[in-house]
Amino acid sequence: MSKERILVVEDQPDISSLLKIYFTSQGYEVFTAMRGSHALEICSKTPPNLALLDVNLPDMEGYDIGRALRASPRTRHIPIIFLTARGERRDRLVGLGEVQAQYYIVKPFDIEEVHTIVKNQLDEARRKNQLHPVTNLPTADLIGDHLRLLLSAQGWSMALLHINGFETFTQSYGSVVGEDVLKFTALLLNEAVNELGGNDDFVGHMVVGPAFVLTSSPERIKTIVERLLTRFDEEIGLHYNFRHRKQGYIEITDDAGGTRQVPLMALSVGVVTSEDGPFYDIRELSETVEETRQRALHEAREQGKKSWVVFGRSR
């Protein structure tokens, strides 16, 4: 399982270094930012499991970072803990009330107490089944909650993406390298949405298997998916050894003892929109988008393609 990621946003180098050294020693992966703009860039590319925010920063207040995280479906689930010298009642009300932070701790602080709070918040998030343990993307309950909101809205599109050949790859290369592929795919998704998507776009990772969910507007999703497929096909070979990359396949032994060639990994993507409905529950929506993805997989195999996408009835 991957290390849980903590983002420390603090403009005082001594405090930032103390928090980084301490939490790294406790087994966490720690990102640091001294400016709010850098913190938001980190959250958009590799969302952390938890954010420790100072309020007084050179370019913006920590409250503004918290508001931005809460405003986006991709980051609104991230627990926020304020660590700040601003301890007035009105400051606490902004942090806990308006920003909806989990805790508001006034400096000077006891670092072991902060660690206990951080650990409890991360444990609670795991109990709620909110984040995928490898990619740190929303999963399970958070995906379900988001899809329920779609059912009562119009003007949306949803893509289901599956990494074909992932199971064979992990059997040949091992689960650790397989986790690298999942992280790579999540990174490509986040980068495509950051560049081509909007603030309301959502990226999630299904709790079982190499499957991802993307929601966006019908106008944006085609461009996002096409960019993702192009980059995946261009870069996935870097996860293979030279021989497999050059020949374009892995040889495996089947149940009968024969040798079979399995192509390098590719994506199959199904896309449906609100115009393909109405959808009356999440199950119906999920089944429809999975049927669409299966069509993409079938068409790719028939035409000898790599990654492939099929749009629903509205296209």
Per-residue pLDDT tens for 243-294?
999 999 998 887 777 788 999 999 999 999 999 989 999 999 999 999 999 9
Which pLDDT tens digit goes with each residue over 218-251?
A: 999 999 999 999 999 999 999 999 999 999 999 8
d(CA 254, CA 265): 18
Gap between the Cα atoms of 221 and 126, Å rounded: 30
CA distance 269 to 271: 7
CB 46 within 8 A of CB 187: yes
Count of beta carbons in the 10 Å neighbourhood of residue 46? 17
Does 1 have pLDDT greater than 70? Answer: no
The whole-angstrom separation of Cα 201 and Cα 214 is: 7
Beta-sheet strand order (sheet of 211-216): 202-205, 211-216, 157-164, 266-273, 308-311
- Give 178-199 pLDDT, tens digit per residue: 999 999 999 999 999 999 999 8
pTM: 0.83
Structural domains for the chain = 5-127 (3.40.50.2300), 141-311 (3.30.70.270)
